[in-house]
Amino acid sequence: MTGTPKKVYLDYNATSPIINEIADLYSNGELFFGNPSSIHFAGRHSRSLVNSCRRSLAKFLSAKEENIFFTSGATEANALIINGIVSSGTVESVLCTSIEHPSVLDNVPSKNHLKVLPNGQIDLENLEHVLQKYSSRVLVSLMFANNETGIIQPIKETADLVHKYNGLIFSDAAQAFGRLSFDINSLGLDFISISAHKFGGPQGVGALISREIVDFNPLYAGGGQERFKRAGTENTQGILGLKIALEKLPKYYNSEEIDKLRIRFEEKLLQKRPDAVIFGDGIERLPNTTCIALPGISSETQVIRLDLEGYAVSAGSACSSGKISPSHVLLSMGVDDKIAKCAIRVSMGPETKWEELEGFLEIWSNF
């Protein structure tokens, strides 16, 4: 009789395990926060915690404190800037690439979806052609690194091109933040969004960060929180968790070591299954992400069989109600539909061990 298989988590791009210091904070039974808008001692204490996180995040990104707006995560932040900047009249329209996260794609008309090259990066020549058609300012949304393939976009080059035509650029940086070192000023990014749960923080908290003061409307009315841009009582517990995760990042996430692990993993993978396809091979990617297809074996079959063996991986975005369908990212890259239907994503984290990856390969290579 076989026992329960060991659980191995390889889905860090969906969410990362909360770091121990935050888990301890949440489980000690002594958490009490006042409303940050209240003027009494409990409210003032909560306000100081929120503001301390704002300061830490501003310093981390070389941004300004007053340009940081806390949200429930990147999905809300994405909707906030995309819808709010159009309704305010600051821009005429929003453009985005066809490989964006659904929280961006679903907020931008399909006619405004931009082409990407077969390597998964934005087609800058096509972008310039599109920008030339607009007489008014537009916002271009380009994710920093793709959540499915890990492919990193040419952010600086795109920002320079967008600014050449007096446009603004926004980047969903949920996957890149904490895994790649950057600041919004040197890259010329006008806005970015982040989610705490992608880098060891709690779920349900994130932020929209603006490089300069640019007018945009809130998604809804109801309060003056976050300088009237995001109504509702701030999630003080979540924001404090974000701050702790931010402080622990240098020790928690070693990109160089994880990158070495991924490279070794991919080399071994191709040795065992030469017929496998690694998407983005040869292109700069996130240190932790491998998107692979095993021709003839559907994504769903792979995910289920691996789950039964105790391995957690995914197929496509985790924000798709559990549906497994051909990746819109891979299809946008021109990948054949039959191959796209056989793709899964392995995303590693600080806790991932080589022995776990070896175990994965032993099972997966025999499919």
The reply to whether 208 and 266 lie within a common domain is no
**Domain span including residue 218:** 20-251
Same domain, 70 and 206: yes
Element (H, E) at 95: strand 93-97
Q: Is residue 1 part of a domain?
A: no
Query: What is the spatial order of strands in the sheet that 289-293 belongs to?
Result: 277-278, 289-293, 343-347
Same domain for 131 and 121? yes
Q: Please indicate, yes or no, if residue 31 is contained in any of the structural domains.
A: yes
58 and 73 inside one domain: yes
pLDDT of 321 reads 47
| C-alpha 328: how far from chain center | 16
Residue type for 235, please?
N
HSE, side-chain direction, 13 A CA sphere, residue 242: 31
124 lies in the same domain as 179: yes
In a domain, 42, yes or no: yes
Given a contact cutoff of 8 angstroms between Cβ atoms, the answer to whether 200 and 18 are in contact is yes
For residue 217, being part of any structural domain is answered with: yes
The pLDDT tens digits of the residues spanning 138-157 come to: 999 999 999 999 999 999 99
pLDDT reported for residue 1: 40
Q: Are residues 217 and 339 in the same domain?
A: no
Domain boundary among 251, 275, 309: 251
Q: What share of the chain is helix, strand, coil (3-state, %, to 5)?
A: 40, 15, 45
> Which among 53, 291, 319, 342 is annotated as catalytic?
319
Beta strand pairing call for 68-71 and 206-210: antiparallel
Same domain, 238 and 289: no
Residues 260 and 134 reside in one and the same domain: no
Condensed to tens digits (0 to 9), the pLDDT of residues 43-76 reads: 999 999 999 999 999 999 999 999 999 999 999 9
Distance CA 317, CA 333 (A): 16
Q: Are residues 46 and 183 in the same domain?
A: yes
Total domains present in the chain: 2
- Give domain status of residue 204, yes or no: yes
Separation of alpha carbons 54 and 65, rounded Å:
6
Catalytic residue status for 342: no
Task: Examine the domain organization and report whether 53 and 145 are in the same domain.
Answer: yes
My answer on whether 246 and 345 are in the same domain is no
Whether residue 95 contacts residue 120, with contact meaning beta carbons closer than 8 Å, is answered with no
Structural domain contains residue 77: yes
Name the domain boundary from 234, 251, 268: 251
CATH value at residue 357: 3.90.1150.10
Q: Are 22 and 245 in contact (CB under 8 A)?
A: yes
CATH code for the domain in which residue 93 is found: 3.40.640.10
pLDDT of residue 251: 83
Q: What is the pLDDT of residue 325?
A: 76
Within-domain flag for 132:
yes
- Which of 211, 233, 251 is a domain's end point? 251
Residue 198 within any structural domain of the chain: yes
> Which residues of the chain carry a pLDDT beneath 70?
1-4, 29-31, 316-324
Same domain, 111 and 168: yes
Calpha distance 170→174 (Å, rounded):
12
